[in-house]
């Protein structure tokens, strides 16, 4: 039976509010068909100039900060973005350095979906960007207990029975993708969630006090299934709520129809930053925040000079581990401080392998692999549109692993004859000062009412936006959703 080798994979499997595939109507794979553009939400048209122009300081030039500033600018407000590092984009980072032939690798955000990233698709159209199909979850090969299994094998009753799954689980997986197993036990609970912003008072409040794995076990999951599904850490209520949100939005739990931006996903933050122009100040580290009844004062340092800005509002788009180091006066209330101190995040390292050929094709294999290796969790191809015989393979693993060790891990488990990898470079997000965080992890057992809905609410004249400040911790979609929410709140204030 497969054991979860890291907290990263436990999180990805159990809070995976970014995906486990399902068609909500009938569990069919029809969910992978791209939704027509006409069904997508569009970016709201710029509003007429406001009667009361407000001055806003945005902390952090990641995609949430840039998006929020852009939306406020469109509404006619006076916006300044302060970014402590020397680049904008935060966790969205496309790298070319060290690679040949015009190749690139996305160190951070890797894909978008349709449906799901509705605001994001609106910006793609607004800015004239191009989205490319991204088949990184197609023809997936999954390594379990040292052996690779194709998607076809993981739908074979004899293979499934060999894992120790019970008859109900085997029957389910012969009809639905392997990654959908947990939905066999989650689906009966989801229809009670009617409002994606209200997880409480629907009859499930007690489920916040048990783990998802305990609920799986109570409902008859086999020991083998429990091992595959995990769920020891997240609150059952939090886990079910996240899955229900996707259902309410009509989004698969693990989509396989994925997309990325041509030229790299940093094209979107670049587009925001270009339009914001000199409103974005880099190398501008916020030192302190002082809030009053009528506004805020921000002290920051830029090019070794201390500076001060006053504004009507401050929007914090700085990841909370970095924001916690900034003094705020007067001190924030205890319940707010609890949220700031106890939100936890996922993080990882991205590896970019450059190879001289699609060597796996010579072996009749796929490069889309879940590797179940402690040093390298998964691999897939990217940058396919670049005109060269060379290829880029992206990989994800834990922080603290050298690129050479990741390459050794790949060669240890790769089931083919050999590879043509020429080099590997990496970005270890766990070591970043300002943008180490990826997605917010599920709320711990028994704590949901301490986080929700306070995590998305303002504190006086301080607002909060970012992937963490939404009901669904779903990467750049959560970032743009929270950014638009805050821009609207401030505009209407």
Contact 118/39 with Cβ under 8 angstroms?
no
Whole-model pTM: value is: 0.90
Asked if the peptide bond before residue 330 counts as cis, ω within 30 degrees of 0, the response is: yes
| Beta-strand relationship, 78-82 and 280-281 | parallel
* Cα distance between residue 210 and residue 208, in whole Å: 6
CATH class of 94-136+258-263+347-431: alpha beta
Scanning 306-447, the segments in alpha helix (DSSP H) are 320-323, 334-342, 359-362, 403-413
| Beta-strand relationship, 349-355 and 94-95 | unpaired
Residue whose structure tokens are 């499934």: 160
* Cα distance between residue 237 and residue 231, in whole Å: 12
Q: Tell me the average confidence (pLDDT) per consecutive run of 10 residues in the chain, 493 residues long.
A: 39 36 41 36 50 93 98 98 96 95 95 93 97 96 97 98 98 96 97 97 97 96 95 89 94 91 97 98 98 96 96 96 95 96 93 98 97 97 97 97 98 97 96 86 93 97 96 91 98 96
Scanning 250-317, the segments in alpha helix (DSSP H) are 267-276
Residue whose structure tokens are 């091992």: 227
* Cα distance between residue 254 and residue 250, in whole Å: 12
Contact 481/65 with Cβ under 8 angstroms?
no
Q: Which of 265, 266, 310, 318 is nearest to 290 (CA)?
A: 310
- Of the CA atoms within 13 Å of residue 42, those in its CB half-sphere come to 9
Q: Is 88 helix (H, G, I), strand (E, B) or coil?
A: coil
Q: Say which residues have a Cβ less than 8 Å from residue 219's Cβ, sequence separation at least 6.
A: 185
Q: Is 380 helix (H, G, I), strand (E, B) or coil?
A: strand
- List, in sequence order, every residue forming a beta bridge with 113; answer none if it has no partner: 258
Contact 402/395 with Cβ under 8 angstroms?
no
* Cα distance between residue 328 and residue 256, in whole Å: 43
Q: At what angle do helices 236-249 and 183-190 cross, to 10 degrees?
A: 80
* Cα distance between residue 331 and residue 316, in whole Å: 16
* Cα distance between residue 334 and residue 189, in whole Å: 34
Q: Which of 434, 428, 477, 473 is nearest to 455 (CA)?
A: 473
Instruction: Give me the long-range contacts of 195-204 (CB less than 8 A, separation at least 24).
Output: 196/244, 196/245, 196/248, 196/249, 196/471, 196/472, 197/453, 197/471, 199/237, 199/238, 199/241, 199/448, 199/452, 200/448, 200/449, 200/452, 204/237, 204/240
Which two tokens mark 265? 């996903």
Residue whose structure tokens are 């994606």: 196
Contact 281/81 with Cβ under 8 angstroms?
yes
Domains 48-90+266-332+459-492 and 94-136+258-263+347-431 agree in fold: no
H helix and E strand count, the chain? 16, 21
pLDDT of residue 465: 97
- DSSP-assigned states of every residue in 8-22: HHHHHHHT-TT-B--
Q: Is 189 helix (H, G, I), strand (E, B) or coil?
A: helix
How would you class 227 by CB atoms within 10 Å of its CB: exposed for 0-12, middle for 13-18, buried for 19 or more?
A: middle
Contact 89/61 with Cβ under 8 angstroms?
yes
Domain coordinates of the chain in residue numbers?
7-33+138-249, 48-90+266-332+459-492, 94-136+258-263+347-431
Which two tokens mark 351? 């590896």
* Cα distance between residue 68 and residue 407, in whole Å: 39
* Cα distance between residue 293 and residue 312, in whole Å: 10
pLDDT of residue 46: 53
What is the architecture of the domain spanning 48-90+266-332+459-492?
3-Layer(bba) Sandwich (3.50)
Contact 112/90 with Cβ under 8 angstroms?
no
Contact 118/261 with Cβ under 8 angstroms?
no
Contact 458/427 with Cβ under 8 angstroms?
no
* Cα distance between residue 58 and residue 182, in whole Å: 40
């Amino acid at each position: 039976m497969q054991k979860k080798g890291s907290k990263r994979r436990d999180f990805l499997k159990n809070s995976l509010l970014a995906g486990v595939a399902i068609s909500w109507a009938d569990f069919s794979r029809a969910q992978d068909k791209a939704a027509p553009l006409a069904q997508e939400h569009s970016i709201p048209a710029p509003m007429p100039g406001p009667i009361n122009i407000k001055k806003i300081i945005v902390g952090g030039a990641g995609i949430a900060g840039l998006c929020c500033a852009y939306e406020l600018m469109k509404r006619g407000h006076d916006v300044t973005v302060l970014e402590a590092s020397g680049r904008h984009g935060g966790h969205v980072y496309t790298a070319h350095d060290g690679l040949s032939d015009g190749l690139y690798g996305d160190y951070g955000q890797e894909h978008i979906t349709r449906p799901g990233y509705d605001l994001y698709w609106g910006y793609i159209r607004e800015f004239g960007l191009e989205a490319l199909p991204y088949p990184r979850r197609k023809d997936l090969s999954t390594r379990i207990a040292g052996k690779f299994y194709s998607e076809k094998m993981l739908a074979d009753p004899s293979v499934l029975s060999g894992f120790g799954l019970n008859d109900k689980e085997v029957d389910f997986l012969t009809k639905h993708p392997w990654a959908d197993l947990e939905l066999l036990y989650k689906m009966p609970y989801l229809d009670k969630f009617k409002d994606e912003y209200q997880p409480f008072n629907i009859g499930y409040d007690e489920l916040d006090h048990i783990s998802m794995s305990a609920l799986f076990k109570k409902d008859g999951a086999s020991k083998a299934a429990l091992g595959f599904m995990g769920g020891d850490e997240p609150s059952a209520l939090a886990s079910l709520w996240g899955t229900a949100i996707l259902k309410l939005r009509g989004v698969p739990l693990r989509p396989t129809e994925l997309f990325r931006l041509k030229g790299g996903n940093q094209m979107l933050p670049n587009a925001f930053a270009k339009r914001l122009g000199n409103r974005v100040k880099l190398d501008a580290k916020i030192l302190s925040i002082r809030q009053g009844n009528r506004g805020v004062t921000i002290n920051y340092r830029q090019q070794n000079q201390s500076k001060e800005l006053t504004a009507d509002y401050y929007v914090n788009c700085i990841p909370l581990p970095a924001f916690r180091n900034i003094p705020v006066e007067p001190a924030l209330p205890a319940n707010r401080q609890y949220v700031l101190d106890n939100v936890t995040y996922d993080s990882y390292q991205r590896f970019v392998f450059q190879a001289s050929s699609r060597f796996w094709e010579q072996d009749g294999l796929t490069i889309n692999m879940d590797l179940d290796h402690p040093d390298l969790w998964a691999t897939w191809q990217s940058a396919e549109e670049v005109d060269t015989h060379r290829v880029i393979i992206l990989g994800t693993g834990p922080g603290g692993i050298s690129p050479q060790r990741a390459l050794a891990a790949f060669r240890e488990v790769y089931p083919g004859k050999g590879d043509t990898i020429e080099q590997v470079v990496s970005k270890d997000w766990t070591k970043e000062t300002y943008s180490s965080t990826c997605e917010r992890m599920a709320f711990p057992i028994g704590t949901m009412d301490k986080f929700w809905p306070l995590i998305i609410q303002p504190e006086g004249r301080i607002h909060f936006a970012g992937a963490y400040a939404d009901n669904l911790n779903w990467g750049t979609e959560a970032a743009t959703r929270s950014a638009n929410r805050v821009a609207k709140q401030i505009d209407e204030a």
